[in-house]
Amino acid sequence: MTKETKKDKVIILGYCPYTLADVPWNLPDFEYWGMNDLYLNIPKADRWFEMHIRELIEKSLRNQEHLHWLKTAQIPIYMIQKHDDIPMSKEYPLQKILKEFQYGNYLTNSCSFMIALAILEGFKEIRIYGIDMASDRLLDREYGFQRPSCEYWLGVAAGRGIKIFIPPKSDLLKKAYLYGYEEDAEKRVKIEARSTDMSNQIAQMEQQKRNLLYKFHEIIAREDNSNNESIQKIKNEYAALLTNLHQIDVNEAKFQGSIDNSDYILRVWSARDELKYYGDKKGEFKWEKVGQEPMKSEEVLTTLQALT
């Protein structure tokens, strides 16, 4: 880990492997900021953020050596308060944030704290890697309520003229279409029709499962009134029905996954070819490509089929 050096560009790092793998580590005019126990996954950083209460830090289940690392780190560590046994700890300047920004208390995750500080210190460019914050309606992960805060602070940064970069693979600041201008009725109708068809197939599978359960009851009734010669045959039928039930569950899960992917594309993503954004070298972003046209319907459907 390197010592703190003040520059005017910063790369904020998180855990998501999809974009963390694309970090350009050899940019001399950038600071690199990490969080929590991300040091297990990255080669260097200039500043660190551990924005949890001391009790949670000491009881970390993910990394038992985390507190020891904090105590021996050689770079500034921003925390809720300074700790004497963590020499490099610094109290996060929350009061300055609250005074500077109208909604300065809208901080629901470590990334938001980091972006807010970068804005406060006058950084001219902010790049985000490893912070995807994908959320879905089934899992309802914490990112579902954390992402708006992160996107708010990115908006504040952009509003102050700070150049920001979000990897194409990240969910941050992504949309399905530009409301009122890019609504692709054909794409939406096709994807929604596909989702309806898969929902109907799931309903049919549920009926098949109910029919199998009826057969289970019939087998149990037969076994109560059968002789020893027919017991093995009944057991074989029972095992076959269990296999059919399991296969129906597997197929049903596949269809549900496809439906979720369809909903995800409609709600969040305007899917684009990553090569349209990146140059030949990993992490080299083509800024001039940001404003290009959205994908056509057939391109979106091809992407959907690949996902499902």
Same domain, 157 and 254: no
For 61, 102, 264, 282, 301, the CA distances from 268, given in Å and listed in that order, are 33, 28, 6, 25, 15
Same domain, 17 and 162: yes
- Residue 190 to residue 157: CA distance in whole angstroms: 37
Q: Where are the beta strands (DSSP E) in 114-186?
A: 125-129, 163-165
Same domain, 105 and 153: yes
CB atoms within 10 A of CB 291: 6
Residue 56 lies in a domain: yes
For 98, 123, 125, 164, the CA distances from 160, given in Å and listed in that order, are 17, 10, 11, 11
Nearest to 269 by CA among 136, 131, 145: 136
Same domain, 170 and 184: no
Going by pLDDT thresholds of 50, 70 and 90, the confidence category of residue 35 is: very high
Residue 280 lies in a domain: yes
- Residue 64 to residue 58: CA distance in whole angstroms: 8
CB atoms within 10 A of CB 276: 12
Same domain, 93 and 148: yes
- Cα angle, residue 268 at apex, residues 262 and 270 outer, rounded to 5°: 85
Domain end among 174, 199, 215: 174
pLDDT at 304 over 70: no
Q: What percent of the chain has pLDDT over 90?
A: 42
**Cβ atoms of residues 223 and 231 within 8 Å:** yes
3-class state of residue 163 by DSSP = strand
Same domain, 253 and 140: no
Same domain, 29 and 137: yes
Residue 4 lies in a domain: no
Q: What percent of the chain has pLDDT over 70?
A: 65
Domain end among 122, 152, 174: 174
What digits encode the pLDDT tens for the residues 198-255?
777 777 777 777 777 767 667 666 665 655 666 667 667 767 777 777 777 777 777 6
Domain end among 154, 174, 194: 174
Going by pLDDT thresholds of 50, 70 and 90, the confidence category of residue 268 is: low
Within 8 A by CB and 6+ apart from 174, the residues are 268, 269, 270
Domain with 244, as residue range(s), is: 175-308
3-class state of residue 9 by DSSP = strand
Q: In what order do the strands lie in the sheet with 125-129?
A: 89-91, 77-79, 47-50, 31-35, 9-13, 125-129, 163-165
What digits encode the pLDDT tens for the residues 40-53?
999 999 999 999 99
pLDDT at 5 over 60: no
Domain count, the chain: 2
Same domain, 105 and 62: yes
Same domain, 152 and 248: no
Going by pLDDT thresholds of 50, 70 and 90, the confidence category of residue 38 is: very high
Same domain, 32 and 44: yes
pLDDT at 192 over 80: no
